[in-house]
Amino acid sequence: MSRIGKQKIILPSGVKIEVRDGVITVKGAKESLTRNIPSLIEVVVSEKELEIKRTKETRAARELHGLMRTLISNMVKGVSGGFEKKLQINGLGYRAQVQGQTLKLSLGFSHPLDIMLPKNVQVKIDGSNITLMGPDKELLGSLAADLRSIRPPEPYKGTGVKYEHEIIQRKVGKTGATASS
């Protein structure tokens, strides 16, 4: 049996779970998240905890068991406390600013980039640091990866967009020494 899948999810106060027609809805104080549940997985809701079970003992059911438990656990953590991803911008003239639900980035291209943010994602900018906050861990990770892919950190000068604790392997550039004859 899956070691992760058999663990029960403890529900914090203020979080409500509703399972109906193969869809689970997790509601918190401010946010609500939904996800489809595969037919091979069953969600059992009790008063203060949640248990994920398999309906069949097939390989596909075993594969989905731990995955669905982790995804639902992330939904519960997201609506109760939220998640955040931190990025850093390094480079001369590289900057970011937020206007409403639009993130404006100047990353050395000939034009500024305007990125529309999803409705439940908030952005805080502090100098060269960008903090993405929201209840959906999957959405935040995808958005952070998309922002990083616009201008990934380069190994010679270290300029670009990187995750906060990411270590960039730096390379030594050309020395400029000429061979003597």
pLDDT at 116: 94
CA angle 44, 49, 53 (to 5 degrees): 30
Question: What CATH number did the domain enclosing 135 receive?
Answer: 3.90.930.12
Answer yes or no: is 66 within a domain.
Answer: yes
Answer yes or no: is 170 within a domain.
Answer: no
> Beta partners for 83?
134
- Specify the number of domains making up the chain: 2
Pair 91, 35 in one domain: no
**pTM of the model as a whole:** 0.87
Half-sphere exposure of 35 (CA within 13 A, CB side): 22
pLDDT tens digits for 114-173?
999 999 999 999 999 999 999 999 999 999 999 999 999 999 988 999 999 989 899 988
Confidence class of residue 178 from pLDDT cuts 50, 70 and 90? low
Mean pLDDT (the chain) is 91
Domain that includes residue 21, residue range? 9-80
The structure tokens 């209840």 sit at 135
